[in-house]
Structure 1
Amino acid sequence: MLPSAVRRLGPLTQRAKHALNDSRSRIVLAVAAGWFISLGVRMVYPVLLPHIRTAYGLDLTSAGFLLTVLWAAYALGQLPGGIVSDRMGERITLVVSTLIAGLMLLLVVGAGSAIVVFAATALFGFGTALYGVARFTIISKTYPDNGGAAIGVTLAAGDLGNAILPVVASVIATAFVWQLGFGFVVPLFALVSIGLWFVVPKQAADADESEMVLSRETARYVVSELRRPPIVVVTLILVLGFSLALTLTGFYPTYLIEEKGLSPAVAATLFSLYFALGVFVKPLAGSAYDQFGIRRTLPVIFVLAIVALLSLSVVESLWSLVLVTVLLSSLLGNIAITMPYLTDLLPEEIQGTSLGLLRTTYMLFAAASPPLFGILADHGYFDEGFVLLAAVAGTMALLVLFLPRQ
């Protein structure tokens, strides 16, 4: 049975390798490098939050609100990012995004008050949002026949950033000063900006697309396209999937410490393992989508997640929790399948604008899920909360059945 499974994985890994082994690989690597630092720094914030609280005398509520500001600004920046990408092209959008992010981190590092930290964090979140849409559209245009694998590679780079940058930032902040936990990334943003400028094609869209003006007719066109049943269904899957992901990543370490009795160090290690596995899960998921389509790949991911979420309340040993964490990491493959599928559904001339609007929508809806889960946990229903998340995964699996066959 194992040799059979290996044979099945062979074509999937070959597709992922193909995305890095031709003349277009420079684009994938440059975009992936930007996503590595863009997403990784957002996960640095929770690690450095205790230092920020001490420096500016923030209570827990205010510190939590800083994270809300970061993610809300990221969600709200998706639509403007899509519009800029459609009108000015992906190269300018990606470069501007990385430059804004680097400059705002400099403001955070040199901030003299909490107000400046909050304002700079909001602008950092908004700036990185510009990257969110353009990375999908440029890869989709560069790899029209192998987009899932290529997007999976770039997404995996983000998980690598999640696993590495927070650890590095924590070590630097502890050894020196907390500001350097942000500051060491600023030169990386500058280097990536230069790389993107020279590697990403100047004209990623047709001339008439870049000259497209915003009008009522354009708005009607966008809305009419977004009302198509497959787009509505996959957007619902994204709303539920992002809600599940935000809740899981927000509370999993706390659950392991308070309910399973693990030390903070061990819980943090399992949390890092979850993201580190995304380096492998996302390219494989994207390759599976390219080969088998969305209806045959997404349900597998959700079934594995259901098993893991239902197991959390009964497993106790460390190694069983490691296994559950491995199964949970299958959820990281969701975005590597749904995003290329959604991107391919959208007309190219409004691809960035439409994708930005949809990403803003599902992220804002999903942002309400962690507080709701927190209410359950505060009332002693931590385990039941994860059972509820399993039900969400089951709902997503059923929604896949409403997508057309490819």
Structure 2
Amino acid sequence: MGEKKTRVGGQTFRFENFESEPSLDSTVFSANGRSIGARTGVFGSLCVLVFLVNFARVVYAPLLEPFRAAFGVSEAAVGLLATLVWIGSAAPRFPTGYLLTRYPRHRIVLGSGLVLAGASAIAAAAPSFGTLAAATVLVGVGSGVYFVAASPLIGQLYPDQVGRAIGIHGTASQVAAVVAPGFVGVVLALHRWPFAAWRGIFVLLSLAALGSAILFWLAARRSTITGPQELDLDMRVALVAHWRLILSGIAVVGLAGLVWNGVFNFYVTYLIEAKGLSSGNARTALTVVFAAGVPAFWAAGVVADRLRFVPLMLAILAVFVGSMLSLVAVQSLVPVLLVSAILGFVIHSLFPATDTYILASLPAEHSGSGYAVFSGAMMPIQAIGSVVVGVLVDSGLSYDVVFTALSLGVAVLTAGLFGLALLGRVPSGTNG
């Protein structure tokens, strides 16, 4: 029995009977003589949730044709669904940052899982295309809320290994992008559903999201992350105190993410039109890109814990530029596949490295709100990538010219950041 007082940002929190609280490493589950610590239980449930969250975002692409057939709408209309899910993902970033100043992170994560479960259920039962579109936006909203709340929560769970934890978490997310097309194909091939097979996918997703959210909540309640000390301070305060760090993160990942968003959305079309590949080989190359991202998340997270942030991020940007220019230069299938693997590994290394840079460098009282500012500003920049590429190509420019110009833009930005880093104007981060 005892009393403990903690002062955070001018506010004093009092904890009574703190000696009886379980630690992050206390046992919460036991099976076959093996115990699972509270921290491991929370993190494991987060990895399951992020798999489902990202699966829900990427599952729309292979379902566009079933949607078109089911509702009798145009290709442009079903194509809008893939856009709506990403718009929904970007929209709640800043509002979630505000919520994190009022509610604990684990409650926001729980809410995101419930939103995903509910939105998936609505999609499964959608009687019209309009209802499906509304559910799609909600699916995106759930994912956006999740990432803003879960990322600082991971930093709270593993303050000394933020990069490794972010990398493993990102790996779980990327696995969803790889397996989604194959899973959809298997489910659509089954003819035992009492309703359309695509509806069955959303039924399964809804049930899985609900179950995972409940498991997360049970694990969270048995750990110390439910304490009031995890509340974030005001977003404006976080921005004023750490604007250089946040702006540096946006500069590193914003333009590169824009370019990447435009590239992968047109990847198959580009390889068919510019490289003369068959549609099957072009889709294989895109699969290689995403598959290469699976080990990239883990590796970059581990490396980010050990190397200085700024040189690491600038090196990744430089290799990304080289990979993009190589993609423009190569022609035959084997070189395209090789460059695709390198490109996929490099760009998916940038995301955990930048997230670790932000999360490891922000103090605990600003990690949620500060990350929300970073994510909320960065996501809209990346989201317009496909629009930028599409408009430039429609204006008469070739894909090669567009990709080269955008790559050179990233090169100029990288050189500028390098110069600022030499002058000490780019925050080095906590391990820098």
**Same fold by TM-score greater than 0.5:** yes
CA apart distance, 1:203:
4.7
Is it true that 1:384 corresponds to 2:401 in the alignment?
Answer: yes
Q: 1:197 aligns with which of 212, 217, 242?
A: 217
Residues 162 and 359, structure 2, Cα contact 8 Å, conserved in 1: no
2:109 and 2:146 in contact (8 A); partners too = yes
CA offset digits 1:43-102 (Å, max 9, x no partner): 110110121122222223322322222111111111222333343222222222112112
**Higher helix fraction (1 or 2):** 1
The structure-2 alpha-carbon separation of the partners of 1:371 and 1:52, relative to structure 1 and needing over 3 Å to count, comes to same
For 2:127, what is the secondary structure of its paired residue?
coil
TM-score normalised by structure 1 residue count: 0.87
Find 1:224's aligned residue among 240, 244, 264: 240
Kept after mapping to 2: 8 A contact 1:107/1:120 = yes
Preserved contact between residue 89 and residue 203 of structure 1 (Cα < 8 Å): no
**Deviation (angstroms), 1:280:** 0.7
Q: Are residues 241 and 160 of structure 1, via their aligned partners in 2, closer, same or farther at CA, if it must alter by over 3 Å?
A: same
- What residue number does 1:362 align with? 378
Look up the equivalent residue of 1:398 and give its one-letter code: A
Q: Would you say the 8 A contact 1:36–1:159 is kept in 2?
A: yes
Q: Does 1:207 align with 2:224?
A: no
User: Residue type matched to 2:199 in 1?
Assistant: Q
Cα distance in 2 for partners of 1:219, 1:132 equals 17
Contact 1:87 1:209 in 2 (8 A): no
Shift of residue 225, structure 1, vs aligned partner:
2.5
The residue that corresponds to 1:12 in the other structure is none
After TM superposition, give the deviation of residue 117 of structure 1 in Å: 0.7
- The answer on whether the counterparts of 1:80 and 1:353 sit within 8 Å (CA) in structure 2 is no
SS at match of 2:160: coil
Aligned positions of 1:7-406 closer than 5 A: 23=37, 24-176=39-191, 177-200=197-220, 203-204=224-225, 207=228, 210=231, 218=234, 220-227=236-243, 229-329=244-344, 330-378=346-394, 379-401=396-418, 402=421, 403-405=426-428, 406=432
Q: Residue 169 of structure 1 contacts residue 180 of structure 1 at CA under 8 Å; is this kept in 2? A: no
Deviations 1:119-164 (A, max 9, x none): 1111111112111112211111111111011101100111100000
CA contact (8 A) 2:248 2:427 kept: no
Q: Is residue 57–residue 139 contact of structure 2 (8 Å, CA) maintained in 1?
A: no
Look up the SS of the partner of 1:178 in the other structure.
helix
Structure 1 Cα separation of the partners of residues 416 and 115 of structure 2: 38
In structure 2, C-alpha distance between the alignment counterparts of 1:25 and 1:384, rounded to whole Å: 48
- Name the CA shift for 1:49/1:211 in 2 (closer, same or farther; >3 Å): closer
Q: For 2:237 and 2:409, how far apart are their aligned partners in 1?
A: 32
Q: Greater share of strand residues, 1 or 2?
A: 2
Question: For residues 161-203 of structure 1, what are the alpha-carbon distances to aligned partners after superposition, in whole Å with 9 as ceiling and x for unaligned?
Answer: 0000232113322444222233332222122112211223555
In the TM superposition, residue 220 of structure 1 has moved relative to its aligned partner by: 4.0
**Unaligned stretches of 5+ residues in structure 2:** 1-34, 192-196
Letter in 2 for 1:38: V
RMSD: 2.3
Amino acid across the alignment from 1:172: V
Q: Who wins on radius of gyration, i.e. which is larger?
A: 2
**Where does residue 11 of structure 1 map in the other structure?**
none
Structure number with greater CO (CA < 8 Å, separation at least 6) is 1
Aligned length: 380
TM-score scaled by length of structure 2: 0.82
